[in-house]
Amino acid sequence: MQLAALRHRTESEDCFVISPHHVRIRFHSAKDDVKKIIVHYIDNYLPPKDAAEIEMEKVGSGQVEDHWVATLRAPYRRIKYTFEVIGEDGVHKIVGDRGIKDFSKKALLEDSSYFKLPYLHKIDMDMTPDWVKHTVWYQIFPERFANGDKSNDPKNVKPWNPEDHPGREDYYGGDLQGVIDHLDYLQKLGVNGLYFCPIFKAGSNHKYDTIDYFQVDPEFGDKDLFAKLVNEAHKRGMKIMLDAVFNHLGDQSMQWQDVVKNGEKSRFANWFHINHFPVTEYHDPSKGEGDPEYETFAFEKHMPKLDTANPEVQDFLLEIATYWVKYFDIDAWRLDVANEVDHHFWRRFHDAVTAIKPDFYIVGEVWHSARPWLNGDEFTGVMNYPYTLQIEEHFFKKKTTAKEMVEHLTDQLMMYRDMNNQAMMDMLDSHDTARILTVAGDDQALALQALTFMFMQTGSPCIYYGTEMGMSGDNDPDCRKPMDWSKEDGDVWKQVNELVKFRLKYASTLGKGTIRLTVTPDNLIKVEREGQDHITVLFNTTDSVVEVESDAQLSQNCDGTKLLPKGFAAYVKH
């Protein structure tokens, strides 16, 4: 048995409270190396000789590890536990708080063998909003969704043409009235969460260079119109998520312009990371121009980075964060470039918004491992790119086999507590990436197969506007084409609509149930979801026709009992 591979960490994603009297624990071992794991557990103040036992379940295999799970009951809200590990080679060990010991009854009775949770505090539980697990998001890039009010169109607005290839400076006139005009459409599609890219006053079409956080961009409308949008969406059972750009300001903001004018004498000089004055020029290191005068988002000179360790900056941003929750009743913030802002600020942010709405949803933009932000005091979840990009690697790019993808995804699921996995925002494309149809080589069946696979995962799925219309588009800015309204009720629309309805019909299981990913002997990818219902979904990413059961509730390229390439078949047992 590979002792170096035996792994568990208490009070982490390997050990977390799921109710005042229950703890979920995970253990990790080398692949195909361990035969059985028995957990011995009891109250901290009771003798180990009276400990209960439970055998752990192997829930999946990753690249190099097997993953094991058990749920322990703590009647008095305290618990200590240890692992009895039996290897395939017969080696018998105890893995406890002070290391690995040879198994013996005597060692099992030693208090030092036990990990301890001193008390199961409800306030320390990483609770995530239940409504998120019953939500399908729809991402709207406001400038390109619909033009509902010609009177607020920018100068040189271009004709609405979904076949265009937008430039970075192009405007098409999309606005909030256009969204209001299409709320019934969105309700018909079935989505029940609307995620908006920034709507605040800014100097660009994308609005990530904020000028005034307290003003809706006049090109989109005003605050009265936004309040109407929120109210009308809420009437239809839809949640509203806004995009918060708190890492940086736009260079046309009042604060930065004061620094430009007054230099180090500006009262906002310490709001930013300024290396030296004046800041009227910007030397871009990526172009070999030397060290920059001030820190920015990436090396974008129009986006000077805020110093969020400054209490004045914190208070300013928290006033913004709470203002839109208090007075406009938004339900969620998506946090742009969240990983570049300090943890101290995000803890203050979390406390401020959840004090107003305890079930508020906080989503960070983090493109890599996000464990530091997901301990219950910062974000609810993150944009789950490390997970969904694995899907693209297999389905679209064929860089990995089905087995390799399943291993990667299983490892990824073990990185976070169950409740965080359930609150992740899953998306295959967005305003920052090429559209899935383009990545899929304009193969619509393949794009829909991958989208369906994503919808069957734990996490809250998100559709990028136009996916249901079969829109294509390369990397930014080409992925931001004007919405193609001519494809409503077309074949692709109907398939996406059916997928959304399936996800919401079985939201209790798909949103909160257990998940197990495997590959069948025929090389089909098998997703098993266990909860209120038992749902099994098979995906054929091979070039062969594979025999499956009949009577699938949701399918593509499935002819009776024959599952064709690029096909899937979903079965539900109550």
Which tens digits make up the pLDDT trace of 10-55? 999 999 999 999 999 999 999 999 999 999 999 999 999 999 999 9
Cα torsion angle, 129, 506, 448, 165, sign: negative
Whether residues 178 and 297 fall in one domain: no
**SS3 per-residue string spanning 175-195:** CHHHHHHCHHHHHHHCCCEEE
Q: CB count, 10 Å around CB of 565?
A: 15
DSSP-assigned letters across all residues of 159-171: P--TT----TT--
CATH number, position 563: 2.60.40.1180
What residue type is 81 in one-letter code? Y
Q: Considering 92, 124, 156, which residue would you say is the last residue of a domain?
A: 124
Select which of 365, 411, 418, 426 is catalytic.
365
Whether residues 327 and 393 fall in one domain: yes
Q: What stretches of 381-440 adopt beta strand conformation (E)?
A: 381-382, 425-426
Which tens digits make up the pLDDT trace of 273-293? 999 999 999 999 999 999 999
What is the pLDDT at residue 495?
Answer: 98
What is the pLDDT at residue 498?
Answer: 98
What is the mean pLDDT of the segment spanning 160-180?
A: 97
Whether residues 74 and 187 fall in one domain: no
Task: Please give the DSSP secondary-structure letter assigned to residue 469.
Answer: G
Task: Determine whether 55 is an active site residue.
Answer: no
Whether residues 117 and 142 fall in one domain: no
Instruction: Please identify which residue in the block is written with the tokens 């899937």.
Output: 568
Nearest to 369 by CA among 393, 388, 385: 385
Which tens digits make up the pLDDT trace of 58-72? 999 999 999 999 999
Beta bridge partners of 262: none
Whether residues 18 and 152 fall in one domain: no
Instruction: Please identify which residue in the block is written with the tokens 């929750």.
Output: 325
CATH number, position 368: 3.20.20.80
Q: Considering 487, 512, 537, which residue would you say is the last residue of a domain?
A: 512
Whether residues 313 and 383 fall in one domain: yes
Show Cβ contacts of residue 142 under 8 Å, excluding neighbours closer than 6 positions: 174, 175, 176, 178, 179, 196, 197, 199, 207, 220
pLDDT band at 560 (very low <50, low <70, confident <90, very high): confident
Determine if the pTM surpasses 0.85: yes
Which tens digits make up the pLDDT trace of 510-547? 999 999 999 999 999 999 999 999 999 999 999 999 99
Which tens digits make up the pLDDT trace of 394-408? 999 999 999 999 999
Instruction: Please identify which residue in the block is written with the tokens 């406001």.
Output: 142
Is residue 350 classed as helix, strand or coil in its secondary structure?
Answer: helix
Count of domains observed in the chain: 4
What is the mean pLDDT of the segment spanning 91-108?
A: 96
Whether residues 93 and 242 fall in one domain: no
pLDDT at 126 over 80: no
Nearest to 22 by CA among 117, 131, 130: 117
DSSP-assigned letters across all residues of 112-129: GG-EEE----GGGS----
Task: Determine whether 351 is an active site residue.
Answer: no
Whether residues 507 and 520 fall in one domain: no
pLDDT band at 429 (very low <50, low <70, confident <90, very high): very high
Whether residues 468 and 433 fall in one domain: yes
Select which of 126, 175, 336, 418 is catalytic.
336
Whether residues 387 and 499 fall in one domain: yes
What is the pLDDT at residue 127?
Answer: 84
Whether residues 35 and 145 fall in one domain: no
Which tens digits make up the pLDDT trace of 344-394? 999 999 999 999 999 999 999 999 999 999 999 999 999 999 999 999 999
Q: Considering 307, 329, 352, which residue would you say is the last residue of a domain?
A: 307
For residues 507 and 266, what is the distance between their CA atoms, to the nearest angstrom?
53
CATH number, position 116: 2.60.40.10
CATH number, position 296: 3.90.400.10
pLDDT band at 125 (very low <50, low <70, confident <90, very high): confident
pLDDT at 123 over 90: no
Whether residues 237 and 260 fall in one domain: no
- Domain hosting 543: range is 514-573
Show Cβ contacts of residue 17 under 8 Å, excluding neighbours closer than 6 positions: 23, 117, 120, 121, 124, 125, 126
Beta bridge partners of 433: none
pLDDT at 121 over 80: yes
